[in-house]
Structure 1
Amino acid sequence: MDRLTLTSIIASAAFLIFLIVSLTWHNDELRPRIWQLNEVLEQDPELAEYPYDFKVLLFLNGVVTLTSPQASDVPLRPFLNRIDPSLADKSADAPEVVEAERRFRAIEMQAIRVMLSQSDVESVVWSLDRAWYHKNRVPLAK
Structure 2
Amino acid sequence: MTDSRAYPPRPILAVSAAIVHDGRVLAVRRARKPAIALYTMPGGVVETGETLFEAAIREVREETALSIEPVALAGHREAIMRDKEGRVERHFVILCFAARLLGGEIRLNDELDDARWLAPHEFSGVKTTDGLTEIVMTAVDLIGHRR
Q: TM-score, normalization: structure 1? A: 0.25
More helix by share: 1
Q: TM-score, normalization: structure 2? A: 0.25
More strand by share: 2
Larger radius of gyration: 1
